[in-house]
Chains A and B, each alone.
Chain A
Amino acid sequence: GAVVSQHPSWVICKSGTSVKIECRSLDFQATTMFWYRQFPKQSLMLMATSNEGSKATYEQGVEKDKFLINHASLTLSTLTVTSAHPEDSSFYICSAYQADIAKNIQYFGAGTRLSVL
C-alpha cells in the first residue's frame, strides 16, 4: 500500500506557542489530504479537507485561524496549531488520498500526539 509519513509523532509545547505538523505522501501524489482529530476512545473527527494549491475546507466548528492548513505540493500538507492551549491537546492524524479517485482509499500517517502544558 501507499506510505504516508507524519512528523512529529509526539510533541509537548507550552501554552501560547504554535506547533506545525507535517504530512507527506512518500510514493504517490496526493491531490487531497485530510486532517483528523481523535479524542481518547473515540472515532476520528474530520477537521478539514486539503486540496493541493487551494484553500482548505474546514468542517463546521473547526476554527480555521486556530488550525492553519497548507497544501503547497502534491506530496506535502501541513497543519499548524496556532497559540496552542491545553484544550488543543489531542491525537492528530492526516491521510492522503490517491490521485486515482477510482481507488477511493485514504492512507493514514502514524499520527501526532500533541500535549500542551
Chain B
Amino acid sequence: AQKVTQAQTEISVVEKEDVTLDCVYETRDTTYYLFWYKQPPSGELVFLIRRNSFDEQNEISGRYSWNFQKSTSSFNFTITASQVVDSAVYFCALISMDSNYQLIWGAGTKLIIKP
C-alpha cells in the first residue's frame, strides 16, 4: 500500500526562524519518486522538488533544503530564514509503479510565517 503522512497539520513561526516540515512515506516499490508542492492562498500548486529513490543526496536550493532518508522513509523539507511569502500549504507526494504513476498525496501542512 502507498501512503504519505504529514503529521504536522499546521505550523506557525516568526519570520526569520528556520522550520522543518516532516514527510513520511510507505511503499513496497524499490523505484519511486517523492515530491514537494507548495500551494499558496491563491490555490495554484507550485512544483518544488522531485527526488527519485536511488538518489539519497540531500538538496539545497536557496533557503530550501530537503533531507531524504530511506532508512526512516522520510523526506523532510526545511526552510531557512523563513519569510512571510513562504506562508502556504505544503504537500508531500509519492509516485511509484504500485500507484500506477498517480500522485499519492499527504494531507498537507499549513505553514504560517508571522512578521
Contacts and interface: CB of A to CB of B under 8 A. Distances in A.
Interface residues of A, number: 22
Interface residues of B, number: 20
Interface of A: 1, 34, 41-44, 46, 49, 91, 93, 95, 101, 103-111, 113
Interface in B33-52: 33, 35, 37, 42-47, 50
Given A104-B33, A104-B95, A91 B43 contact: yes
Interface stretch (B17-25, B69-77, B105-113): B105-113
B9 to A, nearest CB: 9
A44 B91 CA distance: 9
- In the A-B complex, list the 7 residue pairs whose CB atoms are closest, starting with the nearest: A108-B45, A110-B44, A111-B43, A43-B105, A104-B33, A43-B107, A43-B108
A4 B63 CA distance: 26
Contacts of A1: 47
Interface of B: 33, 35, 37, 42-47, 50, 91, 95, 101-103, 105-108, 110
Contacts of A42: 107-108
Given A43-B91, A43-B106, A105 B47 contact: yes
A111 to B, nearest CB: 4
Contacts of B50: 103-105
B44 A111 contact: yes
A99 to B, nearest CB: 13
Contact of B45 (A93, A101, A103, A104): A93
A27 B107 CA distance: 30
Contacts of A43: 91, 105-108
Contacts of B45: 44, 93, 95, 108, 111
A105 B37 CA distance: 11
B91 A49 contact: no
Residue from A43, A49, A91, A113 with most neighbouring chain B CB atoms (10 Å)? A43
Contacts of B43: 91, 93, 110-111, 113
